Structure formats: C-alpha cells, structure tokens
Amino acid sequence: AKKSGPGTIAFFEASDDKSARDRRALQRDLERAIDANELFLVYQPFLDIRTGRITGFEALLRWQHPERGLIPPTVFIPIAEESGVIHQLGEWVIRQACATLSRWPDRIRIAVNFSAVQFQNVGILQTIVQALTAANVSPHRLEIEITESMLISKYGSAPAILNSLIELGVTVALDDFGTGFSSLTYLRKVPFSRIKIDQSFIRDMLTQPDCAAIVKSVIGLAQDLQIGVVAEGVETADQLEYLRQTSCDEVQGYLIGRPMSASEISALFDRSSRQ
Ligand code: C2E
Ligand code: CA
Ligand code: CA
Ligand code: CA
C-alpha cells in the first residue's frame, strides 16, 4: 500500500487479505472437487474448412462449485498450479478425455490443455499411456495443447516428454500462437502437428491490416512446415470467409460451436449415424 492517507492503506490491506484468504479457501475446495464430482469437461468443435466436417473437439475444464457456482478455468487453473493440485486435475482430464474418445467415432480427435507444471512430473507419460490403453483408444486421436511459455528452460524436460509422446503417436499443438516469445525457435524443438492462431489475431484481422498480415504469414508458415493450422475464436461469417480464402485448415469459435457437454455431442453422433 502507498502513502495516500490512512483510509487508503486500510482499504488495500483489507482487500489483499480478503483475496489471499479467498485463494486459500478455493485451494482447499479444489482439493476435494475431483472426488466430489464438481469438475466436468465441455467440448468445443474444430471444423475443417475445406470438407465442412467436424474433425475433433477441444476439452475445456469447468468447476461447478457448490456455493460459488460455475468458476471459469482462468480463475482456478492458476490456483491449481500454485498448490500442485494441477497434477491430479490434469490426470483426471486425460482419463476423462480418453473415455469420451472411446465412445465417439474413430475419425474424431480430442485436444486437452496442458499446464507447464505438468511437465515437472515425468510420470505424466505413463499416465497418458495407461489412459489410452484403458480406454482402448489409438494415441493419434489424443492431442496435447501447449503454449510457447512451456518450452522455456525452466521446464527443461518439456521437449523430451513431448517428443516421447509424439513417438507414441500422440499429437501436439502449439496453442495461443503469436502471444509468447521467440515462437519460431520452438517450432524446431518439437515436431508439432498443428499451430493454433490466438483469438486476438482473429478478432482484429478484418479491421487491422497488420493483424491480417500476421494471420496470413502464420498460415503460410504452417503450410511451408507441412503442419496444420487452426484459427481460434472465430465469431463471424466474414472471419470464416477470410480464413477460407487464406487457406486456413481448421476453425474453432462461437460461430462454429460453443463448448458442449459430452452427452450432447454423443447424441448428435448417434443421430447422424442413424440417418
Ligand atoms: P484456451 O486453451 O486458449 O481456450 C480457448 C478459450 O476461448 C476457452 O475459454 C473457450 O471457451 C474460449 N472461446 C472459444 N471460442 C471462442 C470465441 O469464439 N470467442 C471468444 N471470445 N472465446 C472463445 P475457457 O474455456 O474459459 O478456457 C480458458 C483457458 O483456460 C484456456 O484457454 C486454457 O488455457 C485454460 N484451460 C481450460 N481447460 C483447461 C484444462 O483442462 N487444463 C489446463 N491446464 N488449462 C485449461
Ligand atoms: Ca487450448
Ligand atoms: Ca488458445
Ligand atoms: Ca488462451
């Protein structure tokens, strides 16, 4: 707190205390959340622009807190990372995603998000193999989404673990592309299957020429590297049309579909297979 009158100091200290207490309370609640069945995954589709078909889904974690209601991952993931609960959360997400894959058509993949700290646990490799085996799911149907910041030296074992996963057949996507540092270096360290262009670029590409230039060059880069490219956060038909014209492979966003429950999606698959 800065010296701007006693009232101000008291105010800041009180609110800091409160938010620290809040975090600790949430941290404790999170430790029981898995066993209490308060966590669930929602799935948001990827659309192949050329074929017009759904190719897969990204699994996004949700927490239905008994008193506080629905808490978004942007709030509880950092808390889980801080306390280390992220390891259990991450393993739960992988097992859940594999079980869901076993119920969906073979052509469908599921992408799960990974936190950097999960790479500090080398056991993660075995967890993934076990989850795939238990669900009898082919490894190429599981994708891991990581961000550039996870490949910094602090998480030295990340590239090694990722390369082992890729040897198993699991694919890896580079998430939020363009928002981190020296992305291009990392493209050489890990054989990514896909780049996901961050939604901030998609949001502004039709109004800001520099943004459009970046989107076009990332799509070109992916093509030259012979890897896939996904545009995130597509909300309008004009954005989709622009991405079609620039030969983007896949799109994701509210225009294509909001995140949905596994059972809603299963019902859609069942209906289309009966037609
Ligand atoms: P992300 O991986 O970049 O996920 C994309 C976020 O954008 C999701 O928010 C999604 O619901 C939202 N989104 C999708 N389409 C649109 C759109 O058209 N417009 C806009 N404005 N937003 C859109 P969500 O579900 O709140 O997740 C936020 C972040 O939390 C994720 O960002 C990811 O970093 C993290 N997260 C979610 N689930 C997990 C998880 O299981 N493990 C870890 N480690 N992180 C997770
Ligand atoms: Ca993601
Ligand atoms: Ca993203
Ligand atoms: Ca993000």
ipTM, interface predicted TM-score of the complex: 0.98
What pLDDT score does 16 carry?
67
For 187, residues 6+ apart whose C-beta sits below 8 A from its C-beta are: 174, 225
Which of 76, 90, 91, 81 is closest to 30 using CA atoms?
Answer: 76
- Smallest CA separation from ligand 1 atom 27, residue: 73
Neighbours of ion ligand 2 (CB under 5 A): 113, 145, 175
Question: Contact, 177 vs 199, CB < 8 A?
Answer: no
228 lines ligand 1 (CB under 6 A): no
Question: Which of 47, 70, 113 best tests ligand 1's pocket when mutated (most atoms within 8 Å of CB)?
Answer: 113
pLDDT tens track for 197-220: 999 999 999 999 999 999 999 999
pLDDT tens track for 107-163: 999 999 999 889 888 799 999 999 999 999 999 999 999 988 777 767 677 888 999
What pLDDT score does 3 carry?
44
Which atom of ligand 1 sits closest to the CA of residue 255?
A: 18
Question: Contact, 249 vs 230, CB < 8 A?
Answer: yes
Q: With a threshold of 0.90, does the pTM exceed it?
A: yes
What pLDDT score does 121 carry?
85
Residue ranges for the chain with pLDDT beneath 50: 1-5
CA distance 102 to 95: 11
CA distance 95 to 91: 6
Which atom of ligand 1 sits closest to the CA of residue 42?
A: 25
Question: Contact, 172 vs 143, CB < 8 A?
Answer: yes
What pLDDT score does 135 carry?
98
CA distance 149 to 240: 28
